[in-house]
Amino acid sequence: MPTFTTPAVLLRRVEYGDFDLILTLFTEATGKISVIAKHAKKSKKRFAGVLELFTILNITCQTPRRSGLPVLQEAQLEEPFAAIRENMLHTAYASYWAELVATWAEEAQQLDRLYRLLVFMLAGLDRHQMDPALLNLIFQMRFLDIAGLCPNLNYCCVCKTGLDNLAHHVSGFDLPRGGLRCHCCGEDDETHVCLSRGTIKQLQWLAEGDLNRVGRLRFSSQGMNEAQRFLETFVPYHLGKEPRSLKVLRQIRPVMNVPAPAVAEGR
């Protein structure tokens, strides 16, 4: 039977029957794939404890001749990212990103930019190099761009006035239209979210700036709250469902000991 070998991030692990696991993995070359790991549930020896969420594995699978999932033959640990799983809050962020990828991506659709983004973000989370709340904003903005769901933050979606020419510092956001709605064009529905001009510019920078430099951006606590509320409303709205992991993240974030974001330095 034909086999294939590829590096892959483990996104999801579901028990199948008494012995097996079905794994959802994300690869650079072939996007999201599902494989079955036989006897992985009971036998500790079979995959020697490497099938942990968010790890990068080098997997070898056998493709069945007829129907059925590819069967995992070997899995070697490439990047354990163990520090993520030791921290409840970091686990919640990684779970949210993994669920966004697993929910949105089609099977076997190459999404190499998204793969590289996810790996970069998981590495940042693992090494405690950046504020995880900031990483979460970066991931969501760039995920939306790759998914073709990028919010229009450049001008009012009704009167087309550009961001820098808007009379008021704070704009609304029209979720169904996916764009800013200026003060003059009013708010006429319940799906309105408010954003200040400074936060909008910072979000634009997170989406477009050099990935190695955007992590240095500092949000005020008010800006962080605004950006967080906006993205965590916008993403589920356009995904068509509220990710379960986002509910968990929302529950545990306030009770974890999170240092307050530093005072804004601008971009």
Contact 94, 122 (CB under 8 A): yes
For residue 170, state whether it binds Zn ion (rule: CB under 5 A).
no
Q: In what order do the strands lie in the sheet with 152-156?
A: 152-156, 179-181, 170-174, 193-196
Q: Residue 9 forms beta bridges with which residues?
A: 26, 56
CB of 158 to Zn ion, least distance (A): 4
For residue 263, state whether it binds Zn ion (rule: CB under 5 A).
no
Q: How many residues bind Zn ion (CB under 5 A)?
A: 5
Among candidates 17, 47, 16, which has minimal Cα distance to 34?
Answer: 16
Whichever of 96 and 155 has its CB closer to Zn ion, that residue is 155
Options 48, 83, 108, 159; binder of Zn ion; rule CB under 5 A: 159
CB of 144 to Zn ion, least distance (A): 22
**How many CA atoms lie less than 13 Å away from 138 in the CB half-sphere?**
28
For residue 163, state whether it binds Zn ion (rule: CB under 5 A).
no
229-248: contacts with Zn ion (CB under 5 A): none
**How many CA atoms lie less than 13 Å away from 123 in the CB half-sphere?**
12
Q: Which stretch binds Zn ion (CB under 5 A): 65-73, 94-102, 127-135, 148-156?
A: 148-156
DSSP of 232-265 = HHHHHHHHTS--HHHHHHHHHGGGS-PPPPPPP-
Binding mask 179-218 for Zn ion (x = CB under 5 A): ---x--x---------------------------------
CA distance 222 to 232: 15
For residue 153, state whether it binds Zn ion (rule: CB under 5 A).
no
Whichever of 136 and 171 has its CB closer to Zn ion, that residue is 171
CB of 156 to Zn ion, least distance (A): 3
**Using CB under 5 A as the criterion, which residues of the chain lie in contact with Zn ion when the complex forms?**
156, 158-159, 182, 185
